[in-house]
Chain A
Amino acid sequence: MSFLAPLYLLGAVAIVAPVILHLIRRAPKGEVPFSSLMYLSPSPPQLSKRSRFEHLLLLAMRVLALGLLALAFARPFLSRAATLGSSAGERKRVVVLIDTSASMRRVGAWPRATAIAEEVIRALKPGDELAMLAFDSAVRPVFGFAESRSLDPARRSAVALSRLADLRPSWRSTRLGQSLIEAAAALDLAVESGKTASTAARGIVLISDLQRGGRLEALGDFQWPADVQLEIHAVDVGGSNAALAAIADSPETEPVAKGAPRARRVLVSNEGGSSVEALTLEWFDANGSVIGKPSEVHVPVGESRVASVPDPAEPSRVQSLRLKGDSHPFDNILFLAEQPRATVEVVYVGDEKADDPAGLRYFLDRVFLDTPGRAARVVARSASGPLAWPSPRPPALVVIASETPADQAGVARKYLEQGGLVLVPGLGSDRSAMLALLAQVPAQGLAFPSARKDLLLGEIAFDHPLFAPFAAPGYNDFTKIHFWKSRKLDTKALGDCRVLARFENGDPAVVEKRIAAGRLIVLASGWRPAESQLARSSKFVPLMTALLDLGDPRPQGSDRVLVGDAVPLPEGVEHVITKPDGAKVRARSLFTETDLPGVYTDGTAAGARTFAVNLDPLEGRTAPLALETFEQYGCRPARGEGPRIDQAQLALAKDAEQEGRQKAWRPLVVAALVVLIIETWLAGRRGRSTKAALETQST
């Protein structure tokens, strides 16, 4: 039997108290009126001369309760240390988890972090095992346990130190919680793969600036292993830090005042611990020259303010907005890539009149709303005339509303092959020949029979970009849209295609067929009021906008691309991305190497456009977390200073762990409570009888 807190056993000395109190005759409780006290003298409670304990049972219970409590507080446990090898306690397996996020770019942070890591590595004993992980938004192994085991101690340190020297902080954000989980998992994996060191103490040495924006939440769902100790080395660099973050995609759409220049709203936050409050915002161009006048902004320490910065005289030259006045510049630049409003064309092929509210075109003309980044123009082309694009750039969407001659279908086919998007909505009289040409399938079987039946959409592929905007529970109700006229599409006749939506009877309603880089989308019904309620439903505008996005993909919210984000690119063409440092990267549909903040240039055959990649705004939240936060998340931070784990501390930790498993204090406390309850009952009963005796003698 050992005790985790043996000093609490001193509490057992309190047993003396009830013994003495029992030796003292009880102070009189009741009051007895008496005629005169002239023959009486006070007799205060005193030690009973007769060495006889009054109420022996009560005394025994009180002593027992105190003893049990003292024992429980001393946290007894059955020590099983003897079963472990004497050298087992000396071994340890350590994961050094080093922060390489952008906030470590603060002045002086990285040298300190590496110095601490070096000290930890050098302090390891020959029998210890080491792994080193670097983390920012992801965890990267730098040095593994397997490698540690394979190298002799001296060489192991040298290799680990050289790997450490190669490390540099990145521009990515911090995911501290997830990184700690992965470090703990790395320890578990090492236990599974390692054979000899299963009894070694396990620990994680975290070297980080512990910034507030470190995303520790992931630990909330994680059960921290009881035997893994977290040793935290906070890299504190001090100094004032203020951060700049974007709020809106684009400048204010309206001038703030008449005649005033347009303004851009940004969020300026001033971290706790900062000593400055007056900050300056300046516009910079691509060459690093200041444009226009600087703007002053005053942000109290620990707070954030939205600042409205007037655009400079030449807004097209602007490449970045920079914050000045604090000590750490890493989070002070907001890169901007103003996208000129692109005009995309939607070609309508058909002969309906523009003002015929019963037709498709009437609604098509009106469905596309201009957004700050894009204006859509619907251009009508006669079904019988030659099909020519209104501008050199191919249209974003071609809607073929009626049967077309073969040459027109050929143009459309070519457009499809180049990555175009063709929509064949509803029902013309018969468009099987055109459809056959477009879909490159035999015309037989494409004369879909028409059906006159009130149908609803029953099954929708919300994973497809066309229906993805409706995936949320509040928006996925299509039951208000009735389809009265439709064609029974035969997917076999269309060849290899995907059904994006089906009617309630199982017939396909929306079918997509990929043709080379392009998409052919066929609707079983149209949006003419005679055919369905689609055009008059709330789903029509988002559905058509999603369709247009499908034909004209562009980086979403170019200002909001953060370091590490993947940027989707228009498919079908080769993109050459020029990074801010001048490196060129080829990409087809997704660009992932956004590892630097800055303005990237996306060059395609059709031309170049730019997009800005910025630092994660959370990286600017550099005020340190309290160590207690880790405890709240269930981690077991070691409080000890210095990288060495003291042997006494280690033994204490092992004892605490054993005691924590056995929890012998619980039954002891319960037993003490039970004894106290019985004691209270007994004492109450005796008290009542004493009271009765007093009442008798006072009458």
Chain B
Amino acid sequence: MPPLESPQIDPGRGPDPPGSLIDPRALLRIKNLQVRARVAVEGFVRGLHKSPFHGFSVEFSEYREYSPGDDPRYLDWRLFARTDRHYIKRFEDETNLRVYLALDTSLSMAYGTVGYRKCDYARTAAATLAYFLTGQRDAVGLILFDREITDYLPPRYRPGHLRRIMSALAREPAGRATDLAGPLEQAAATARKRGLVVLLSDLLAPTERLASRLAGLRARGHDVMVLRILDPAEIDFPFNVPARFRDAETGREIHVDPARARADYRRRFLEHAAEIERTCVDLGVDFTMVATDRPLELVLFDVLQARLRRGRAAARGRNPLAGGAR
């Protein structure tokens, strides 16, 4: 059993890529979604050898004798007082963590300039998460939505569930426009048991009602994590030839001279992103912006980080005395 180490992750950006990460371009060339997810997870697990991401559950498991180098925070001082020996508390993985993977399948997700579409990336990310979390004995559920929820698989941990998730993800999305508010409201109503809601979307929609819906989820006790999947071209707007730009969702066309429109685009984009982030921070929602050229393994880090935080918060919620053991 590897020693417990304090996480060396910057909570905002996620960890630096551990070792050799898989190029998402190569990964997305794998046709079978489950194989793709397994490859991603295996790559991630290989990178975990030096990683502290093990056993951050809230359930106490056993004591272990302290050895130099262990984090002194996990010393059980009461036991030390009684026995005069240093013991480290070990926790057991929680097996009933419910994760809702909410995946946006709207038409805007079908955009991509890096050789694959945002939806391909998001589906792979969702599949990877599902694969990994199932391996961790967590219950994984799936919500596919565009303007409303189009597919819902409740969180389960049972044989065959992962395959259902995979086949649901593998279906080519025939989505329409994005509307976050409706699906989130439906999700809040559907996912009654508390859990971690991972929202994978480009969030290319107005933010007015996003805050209230996220707050609704939070109010029901869910941990919410937002992974905003964006194509690099949507972030940088690298165009230079004047052209008619057509909206993928509405079909609306406008004449745009990128040379003149770029600054305005960037300004509005950043304003919108900042507003989303502010909303998330206010609500205690983890928000991560993921460009589709980013290695997929890092998304796992983001999610695990969120789980870690939830674990801490849950621990705090159950044990008002920090580090209290059962």
Interface residues of A (CB under 8 A from B): 25-45, 690, 693-694, 697-699
Knowing A35-B204, A35-B248, A36-B204, the reply to whether A45 touches B241 (Cβ < 8 A) is no
- A276 to chain B: closest CB distance in Å? 72
Q: How large is the interface on B (under 10, 10 to 19, 20 to 34, 35 or more residues)?
A: 35 or more
Stretch at the interface among B25-33, B163-171, B257-265: B257-265
Bound-state Cα–Cα, A39 to B245, Å: 12
Q: Is the CB of B244 within 8 A of A35?
A: no
Q: List 19 A-B contacts (CB under 8 A).
A: A25-B257, A28-B241, A30-B243, A31-B244, A32-B239, A32-B245, A34-B246, A35-B249, A36-B202, A36-B248, A37-B247, A38-B268, A39-B264, A39-B269, A40-B245, A44-B255, A45-B255, A693-B240, A693-B241
Known: A37-B247, A37-B254. A43 touches B241 (CB 8 A): no
Q: Return B188 CB to nearest CB of chain A, in Å.
A: 25
Whole-angstrom distance between the alpha carbons of A33 and B204 in the complex? Answer: 15
Task: Give min CB distance, A200 to chain B, whole Å.
Answer: 66
Closest 4 CB pairs of A and B: A35-B111, A36-B204, A42-B254, A35-B108
Verify A32–B265 contact, CB threshold 8 A.
no
Dominant secondary structure of chain A at its interface with chain B: loop
A348 to chain B, nearest CB (A): 108
Q: Is the CB of B268 within 8 A of A39?
A: yes
Cα of A95 to Cα of B189 in the assembled complex, Å: 111
By beta carbon, the residue of chain A nearest B260 is A43
CB < 8 Å: which of A42, A44, A697 contacts B240? A697
- Check B255 against A34 for contact (C-beta < 8 Å): no
Closest chain A CB from B25 CB (angstroms): 15
A28-B252 in contact (CB<8A): no
A239 to B254, CA, bound (A): 72
Q: Does B234 contact A (CB under 8 A)?
A: yes
Contact B243 A29 (CB under 8 A): yes
| Contact for A28 among B109, B204, B244, B265, CB less than 8 A | B244
Q: Tell me whether B108 and A31 are in contact (CB under 8 A).
A: no
User: When the two chains form the complex, which single residue of A27, A33, A40, A45 contacts B254, counting CB atoms closer than 8 Å?
Assistant: A40
Query: Contacts A26-B242, A34-B245, A35-B202 given: A41-B264 contact, CB under 8 Å?
Result: yes
Indicate whether B231 reaches chain A with its CB closer than 8 angstroms. yes
Is B272 an interface residue, CB under 8 A from the partner? yes
B244 → chain A closest CB, angstroms: 5
With a cutoff of 8 Å between Cβ atoms, the chain A residues found around residue B234 in the complex are: 35
* B265 near A40: Cβ-Cβ < 8 Å: yes
Please give, as numbers and ranges, the residues of chain A lying within 8 Å of B256 by CB-CB distance.
Answer: 28, 40, 42-43
Q: Which residue of B lies closest to A26 (CB)?
A: B242
CB contacts under 8 Å to A, within B169-215, are 202, 204-206
* In the bound complex, CA of A395 to CA of B126 (Å): 134
Find the A residue at minimum CB distance from B255. A28
Residues of A within 8 A of B249 (CB): 35-36
In chain A, what residue has the closest Cβ to B252?
A37
Instruction: Name the distance in Å between A52's Cβ and chain B's nearest Cβ.
Output: 13
Instruction: List 17 additional contacts besides A28-B241, A41-B254; criterion CB under 8 Å.
Output: A28-B257, A33-B248, A34-B247, A35-B234, A35-B247, A35-B249, A36-B108, A36-B204, A37-B252, A39-B264, A39-B269, A40-B245, A42-B256, A43-B261, A45-B257, A693-B240, A694-B243
**CB neighbours of A698 from chain B (8 A):** 243
The smallest beta-carbon distance between A167 and chain B, in angstroms, is: 80
- The answer to whether A28 touches B240 (Cβ under 8 A) is no
Cα-based distance from A690 to B243 in the complex (angstroms): 10
Instruction: Return chain A residues, CB-CB under 8 Å to B272.
Output: 38-39
| Shortest Cβ distance from B204 into A: residue | A36
B113 contacts the other chain (CB 8 A): yes
B71 to chain A, nearest CB (A): 45
Bound-state CA distance A690–B255 (Å) is 16
Contact: B246 with A33, CB < 8 Å?
A: yes
Interface 1/0 per residue, B214-235 and A, CB below 8 Å:
0000000000000000010010
Contacts of A37 in B (CB 8 A): 245, 247, 250, 252, 254
* Residues of the B chain whose Cβ atoms lie less than 8 Å from the Cβ of A40: 245, 254, 256, 261, 264-265
Expressed in whole angstroms, the Cα–Cα distance for A43 and B108 within the complex equals 22
Contact of A25 with B242 in the complex, beta carbons under 8 Å? yes
Docked pose: A38 CA to B249 CA in angstroms: 11
Docked Cα-Cα span, A34 to B113, in Å, equals: 10
B241 to A697, Cβ gap below 8 A?
A: yes
Tell me the bound Cα distance from A39 to B239 in angstroms. 14
- How close is B153's CB to chain A, nearest CB, in angstroms? 26
Once the chains are docked, how many angstroms separate the CA of A693 from the CA of B268?
26
B254 contacts which chain A residues (CB < 8 A)?
Answer: 37, 40-42
Residue of B nearest to A44 (CB): B255
Which A-chain residue is minimally distant from B115 (CB atoms)? Answer: A699
B252 surroundings in chain A (CB, below 8 A): 37
- CA separation between A461 and B82, bound complex, in Å? 163
Interface residues as binary, B76-108 with A (CB distance below 8 Å gives 1, 0 otherwise)? 000000000000000000000000000000001
Q: How far does the alpha carbon of A42 sit from the alpha carbon of B264 in the complex, in Å?
A: 11
Is B123 an interface residue when CB atoms closer than 8 A count as contact? no
Chain A residues with CB under 8 A of B240: 693, 697
Scoring B111, B202, B253 by chain A CB atoms within 10 A of each residue's CB, the highest score goes to: B253
In the complex the two chains form, what is the Cα distance from A36 to B257 in whole Å? 16
Are A27 and B255 in contact, with the CB atoms below 8 A?
yes
Max count, chain A CB within 10 A of own CB: residue among B111, B204, B245 = B245
Cα-based distance from A693 to B242 in the complex (angstroms): 10
Q: Closest Cβ of chain B: how far from A694's Cβ, in Å?
A: 5
